[in-house]
Every structure is written in structure tokens, then in C-alpha cells.
Amino acid sequence: MGIWDKLFGELVDIIEWTDDTRHTMVYRFPRYGNEIKNGAKLTVREGQLAILVNEGEVADVFEPGLYELSTANVPILSTLQGWQHGFESPFKAEVYFFNTRVFTDMKWGLRNPLILRDPEFGVIRIRAFGSYAFRIKDPAQMLKEIVGTDGHFVLEEIIGQLKNLVVTGFAKVLSEAQVPILDLVASYDDLGRFLTEQLQSMFGAYGLHLETLLVENVSVPEAVEKALDERASSIAVGDLNRFTRYQHAQSMRDAANNQSTAGSGMAMGMGFGMAQSFGAALGRGDSTDPLSPPPMPQDTEVVKHYFAIVGGERVGPVNLAAVKAMIEQSQIVADTLMWTEGMADWSAAGTLTEVAELLAAQPPAMP
């Protein structure tokens, strides 16, 4: 720089930073020879912090406001005292502005699957991704650890390192916590808050503060997803006895809603008959079931139980009364495979003496 730059620097006495970008984190105010006039005005806006560095050391940190920089309150002298040194003052100072707004929507994700030992599924691989937000908390620490003498420090210079911190912390926390995968998928919010607390110290080492960390998705291999779907299906079907009673209750309601006189009486009679039959045979539901009748008196004789394959599904155990009701419903015919205590393998219903008698007692088809 020449003499005109020097003289222009002497005339400028306002130090401020107006940023029109969204990725600048730290900006050093340019001054000729890093000299600051005695009585210069320093303007720090909302969302900013300023640091005065004198002879390589942090002299002061300025929060939002208007300040006058003079030899009375900062450890520097006016550049007017530097004329005898040939326009070069031996007292140098620099002003760094820090953007303290929250940097949002920072993405993170596992590059490779994370191998975990799950208590239910054994060793599995998972993938995860999400986002996080952070801000500058300690500008002096950040200047010391990351920025250094960089006069224009942008987000792209640190975003890769922060992403590695999040991914490493995520893998470490999950490996040590040993949380079942079912609980993990159902608790994204809790997991995000827990990870935010655990990773706070890593961000603090760089003078940053982790505001939030969101876990948007945790995925497992296709085989594990299939096992989860099968488990959900079995839970949805629930207890066969309760499901059967529910079906018959629905039949009774539909019959009651039928407005035809003859058809209504016949349908209601059949509905009550089926309800009584299956209530006696399958009425062993839990006490919280509104469809469950009072418990039956206990017999002293041994009740024989049967199993049947109906529609490709195993039904049972049911007693002989329930078998009779199922025969009346045409759910069990002579060729239906059945099994009971003492049998070596499944056999046709017509080969079981007690069941064959029930089959023979059925009336012929309606003309």
C-alpha cells in the first residue's frame, strides 16, 4: 500500500461489519498496517461479537453496542505517535467480528452402516441421518483453536469437521447405550436431546454451542424390517378367542339392524345361538374384555382339546363343543386335518370317533 492508503486509513474512524452473506462466520476488519486511530468508533450489531487483538493477544471482547477505542480503555496508542517511526506505529491491533446467529439445517449422516448388538435381533447394521444447528459461544476460544489469522473464515471451512463430530458421537453413544432397535426407532426426540447433551463438550472445545440435534431416520436391513412387520402383524391379530368373539358380536349387531321381520328373527336367533355356543367354548378371555362372559363352572372331568387347520391357519386349542359349533359353521368338514392329545400326527376329522359322530349328526343340505 502507498501513502494514499495510509492517509485514507487515518481518516476512517468507524469500525463496523455489515454482512450480506449467510455463510461468513468470522471477519477481520481491514486497516492499513492493522493500526487503529485513537478515539475510533466500534459498532457491534445484534448477532455479532467483536474481539480486539493487540500484539497477538486478545485484549477485549465487545458485545452489541457502540464503543470508543482510545488509549484510556484499550492497550494501544494513537497512530499519531507513530510518525517518528516513518508512518509505521509499533503498536498494532486487529478487530475480528464473529457472527453469533444460529447456523441451521446442517446435515449429517452415517457414510457406512453402524454395526450394533441388539438384545432382540442380535448383531444388526443400521443407518441414520438428520440435521443439527449451532452457534458461536466463545469467540476467544474459536479464534485460538480454529480461526487463527484467517481474515475471512466461512462455514465451509469447518462444516466437515463438525459433521464428523456428530457422526462419531452418534456411533459412540449408541454403541455404549445398547438401546434396543425397537426403542430407538420409537424415540427420535429423546435420542436427539440425549445426543445434544453428550456432544456439547466436543463443540465447546471449538468455542461453539450445539443448539439442537435431530435424528430424522434410523433404518435397518430389509431382513430386520420383514421381521418387524411379521411381529406387528401377529400383535394386530391378537388372541384368536377374542377375535372370534368380536366377529360374532358384529354378526349379532348386523342382525339386529336388519329391518325385515322374518329374516330379522331368524338372524337374531342364529346370532344368539352362535354366541352362546362359542361363549361356552371360547369364553376364557381376560377380565378386561367387554365381550367376555362370566367364567364357566369348573368341571372335575378332564376336558379334551382339539386343534384344526382352517383356511391354512391353525385353530385351537378348542373343546368338543367348539368343534361342534365349527362343524355347524362348515369350518370343519370330514377332510379337515385335526389333532388332539395322544395322536402321532394330523388326521382327517372323519377318522376321529367323537368328531365323526358330530359330522354324522349334521342335517343334509337345504333343498
- Please tell me whether residue 127 adopts helix, strand or coil conformation: strand
Q: How confident is the model at residue 98 (pLDDT cuts 50, 70, 90)?
A: very high
Tell me if the bond preceding 294 is cis, omega within 30° of 0: no
How much is the pLDDT for 233? 63
| Per-residue model confidence as pLDDT tens digits over 137-191 | 999 999 988 888 888 899 999 999 999 999 988 888 887 777 777 777 677 888 8
Query: Can you tell me the mean pLDDT for 225-251?
Result: 64
Of 65, 138, 52, 57, nearest in space to 95 by CA: 52
pLDDT at 292 over 70: no
Query: Can you tell me the mean pLDDT for 40-48?
Result: 88
Under 8 Å between Cβ of 17 and 51: no
Residues 6+ apart with CB under 8 A from 177: none
Query: Can you tell me the mean pLDDT for 95-103?
Result: 92
How much is the pLDDT for 301? 53
**Which range is most confident: 18-22, 209-213, 273-277, 329-333?**
209-213
pLDDT at 120 over 80: no
| 103-226: CATH superfamily | Band 7 domain (3.30.479.30)
Under 8 Å between Cβ of 79 and 10: yes
How much is the pLDDT for 65? 92
Q: What is the pTM of this model?
A: 0.54
Pick the CATH number of 300-367 from 3.30.1490, 2.60.40, 3.30.70, 1.20.1250: 3.30.1490
Q: What percent of the chain has pLDDT over 90?
A: 18
pLDDT at 210 over 80: yes
pLDDT at 273 over 60: no
Q: How confident is the model at residue 78 (pLDDT cuts 50, 70, 90)?
A: very low
| Per-residue model confidence as pLDDT tens digits over 128-138 | 899 999 999 99
Report the mean per-residue pLDDT for the chain.
75
How much is the pLDDT for 231? 66
Helix (H) or strand (E) holding 49: strand 48-54
Spell out a b/e string for 243-262, using b for 16 or more CB atoms within 10 Å of the CB, else e. ebbeebeeebeebeeeeeee
Under 8 Å between Cβ of 40 and 16: no
Q: How confident is the model at residue 85 (pLDDT cuts 50, 70, 90)?
A: very low
- What is the rounded distance in angstroms from the CA atom of residue 78 to the CA atom of residue 241? 93
| Per-residue model confidence as pLDDT tens digits over 331-351 | 888 888 888 888 888 888 888
**Which range is most confident: 89-98, 118-127, 137-146, 288-297?**
137-146
How much is the pLDDT for 266? 47
